[in-house]
Structure 1
Amino acid sequence: MIEVKVWRNPQGDIYKFYVKGHAGYDEYGKDIVCAAVSAISQTAVLGIENIKGVKIRKEIEEGNLEVEVKEVLKEEDKIKLQAILETMVLGLKDVASGYSEYVKVEEV
């Protein structure tokens, strides 16, 4: 199962997330659930990395992605960052709603 955990600060902004595990929906190379989760989360990271005023800590290994926001320089960068992260969460929740045996999304 893929576990997604999303952390929010008291204002409701996402500041950290991880995606861990393998879906096990199908064999390696044919697992559409794993592919969907990977595409959504890795595209979010690409978007975040293109915001010049945002600094993150990122760890990527086989079956594991962890990202933590370390610094946001401008309010406009924060708005862009949160738009990307909220869209990622929506996409991951949508995958989880269709494949709940394989993906779990938790917000804390």
Structure 2
Amino acid sequence: MIEVKVWRTPERGIYKFSIKGHAGYDEYGKDIVCAAVSAISQTAVLGIENIEGVKIRKKIEEGNLEVEIEQALKEIDRIKLQAILETMLLGLKDVAQGYSDYVKVEEV
């Protein structure tokens, strides 16, 4: 199972997320659930890394992605950042809704 955890600030902004595990929906290389989660999360990371004023700490290993926001100085950068993160979360929740035996999303 893929376990997604999203951490929010008291103001409800996302500041950290982790995605761990493998779906086990199909054999390696043919698992559409893993592919969907990977595509959504890695595209979000690419988007975040292209916001000039945002700095992140990330850890990427087989079956494990962890990202923590370290800095977002300008208000416009924070708005862009949260738009990307909330869109990622919507996509991951949609996958989890369709494949609930394989993906779990938790907000902390």
TM over 0.5: yes
Please name the residue that 1:17 is paired with. Answer: 17
- The letter of the residue matching 2:51 is I
Q: SS where residue 55 of structure 2 aligns?
A: strand
Q: Which runs of 4+ in 1 moved over 3 A?
A: none
Q: SS where residue 28 of structure 1 aligns?
A: coil
Q: SS where residue 38 of structure 1 aligns?
A: helix
- The letter of the residue matching 1:2 is I
- Aligned length in residues: 108
Unaligned runs of 5+ in 2: none
- Cα distance in 1 for partners of 2:80, 2:107 equals 20
In the TM superposition, residue 2 of structure 1 has moved relative to its aligned partner by 0.1
In the TM superposition, residue 73 of structure 1 has moved relative to its aligned partner by 1.2
Q: SS where residue 35 of structure 1 aligns?
A: helix
Please name the residue that 2:93 is paired with. Answer: 93
In the TM superposition, residue 39 of structure 1 has moved relative to its aligned partner by 0.2
Matching of residue 40 in structure 1 with residue 52 in structure 2: no
In the TM superposition, residue 49 of structure 1 has moved relative to its aligned partner by 0.1
Provide the TM-score with structure 1 as the length reference: 1.00
- Cα distance in 2 for partners of 1:72, 1:30 equals 37
- Cα distance in 2 for partners of 1:9, 1:49 equals 20
Please name the residue that 1:5 is paired with. Answer: 5
- Cα distance in 1 for partners of 2:29, 2:58 equals 24
Please name the residue that 1:64 is paired with. Answer: 64
In the TM superposition, residue 8 of structure 1 has moved relative to its aligned partner by 0.1
Matching of residue 73 in structure 1 with residue 73 in structure 2: yes
Q: SS where residue 10 of structure 2 aligns?
A: coil
